[in-house]
Amino acid sequence: MTTAVLKVDRLCKFFGGVRAVNDLSFEVRQGEILGLIGPNGSGKSTTVNALAGIYPVTSGEILLAGGHIQGLPEYERVAMGLARTFQTASIFPEFTVREQVTLGCNATLQSHPLSSVFGIGRHPGEDEAVAARVADILEITALDAVADAPVGTITAAQQRFLMIATALASEPKVILLDEPAAGLVSHERRTLIDLIVAIRDKGISVLVIEHHMALIMEVCDRIVVLNFGSMIAEGTPEEIRNDKAVIDAYLGEAA
C-alpha cells in the first residue's frame, strides 16, 4: 500500500490568459523520488511555486499528509512538512555552514532560532539533539568537511548543497527541488544523486524538477511529464523513455 504525502488535485494556475498549469493531478507517495519533467515553459516551476505557496492558485486542491494546504502561507506549509530550496544562499554569509543549518533546525524548536548561535534562551536537552541532527545533515549533504567554514567562502556547488541541507533542517515530509543540478559539473551531479537517494532513504519524499535527463532517469522512482501545463504521461523511467507522447513533446525542443 502506498500513501500520498503530497496530493495535487485538478490544479490550475493561470497568469492572465496564460494557462501555466491546467487541470493537473498527481501525487508524491511516501518514500519516493518523483520527477517532474517537461519542455521549457510547460509549467514545472509554476507547479512547484504553487505547492510551496509562493502565489495563490487559480483553482484546485493541494493536500499535505491528507490536510488541505492551498491558501496557507509558505511558512505554515514549511512547518507542516513541506520544504523547498531557495535561490538566495544565506542571510548571514559570515555564519559557518554548521551555524546556518543549526538556524534551520532551531526554526522548528521551542527555543529562539538564534539561541544556539548566541547561547541565550535555550530549552534543556534541545542542544544535543539539534547538534546530532545537524551533524547527520552535514554528512549526507557532503558538507562535513566545510562545516566550520563561513558560508560566504564555500563553492557554488557547496552553496547549493547547503540550501538542501537547510531545507532538510526543517524536518520535512517532502522536499521540493527545482533544477538542483543546474550549473553542477559531473562529479557534483554524482554527489547530488547520492544525496537525493539518501534523502529518500531517510523516509523523506522528494519532488525533483530537472533538465538533466540522465540524472532524472537514474534517480527517480516515477516521473510525471508536463506539456503546456497538463500531464501527458506518468510512469517509471523505463515507461517514460518509451512513451510516444513524451518523445513527441521533446522532439520540438533542441535535444
Residues that bind ligand ADP (CB under 6 A): 15, 18, 20, 38, 40-46
Q: Which residue sits closest to Mg ion, CB atoms considered?
A: 45
What is the CA 63 to chain-centroid distance, rounded? 16
- Exposed, middle or buried, 14 (CB in 10 Å: 0-12/13-18/19+)? middle
| Partner whose footprint covers residue 87, from Mg ion, ligand ADP, none (CB < 5 to 8 Å by kind) | none
The residue among 40 and 186 lying less far from ligand ADP, judged by its C-beta, is: 40
The residue among 42 and 102 lying less far from ligand ADP, judged by its C-beta, is: 42
| Partner whose footprint covers residue 25, from ligand ADP, Mg ion, none (CB < 5 to 8 Å by kind) | none
Q: Are strands 33-37 and 205-209 parallel, antiparallel or unpaired?
A: parallel
Closest CB 40 distance from ligand ADP, rounded Å: 5
Closest CB 55 distance from ligand ADP, rounded Å: 7
The residue among 143 and 226 lying less far from ligand ADP, judged by its C-beta, is: 226
| Partner whose footprint covers residue 20, from Mg ion, ligand ADP, none (CB < 5 to 8 Å by kind) | ligand ADP
Q: What is the dihedral of CA 88, 89, 91, 97, to 10 degrees?
A: 160
Cα dihedral across residues 52, 54, 100, 128: positive or negative: negative
Give yes or no for residue 191 binding Mg ion (CB under 5 A): no
Q: What is the dihedral of CA 63, 68, 72, 74, to 10 degrees?
A: -20
Using the rule CB under 5 A, which residue among 30, 45, 58, 108 binds Mg ion? 45
CA distance 150 to 161: 14
CA distance 226 to 138: 34
Closest CB 74 distance from Mg ion, rounded Å: 18
Closest CB 214 distance from ligand ADP, rounded Å: 19
Query: What is the helix (H) or strand (E) element at residue 174, kind and residue range?
Result: strand 174-178
CA distance 200 to 222: 13
Closest CB 99 distance from ligand ADP, rounded Å: 33
SS (H, E, C) 116-166: HHHCCCCCCCHHHHHHHHHHHHHHHCCCHHHCCCEHHHCCHHHHHHHHHHH
Beta partners for 37? 225
The residue among 45 and 58 lying less far from Mg ion, judged by its C-beta, is: 45
The residue among 49 and 170 lying less far from ligand ADP, judged by its C-beta, is: 49
Closest CB 46 distance from Mg ion, rounded Å: 8
The residue among 10 and 202 lying less far from ligand ADP, judged by its C-beta, is: 10
- Residues that bind Mg ion in the complex, under the rule CB under 5 A: 44-45
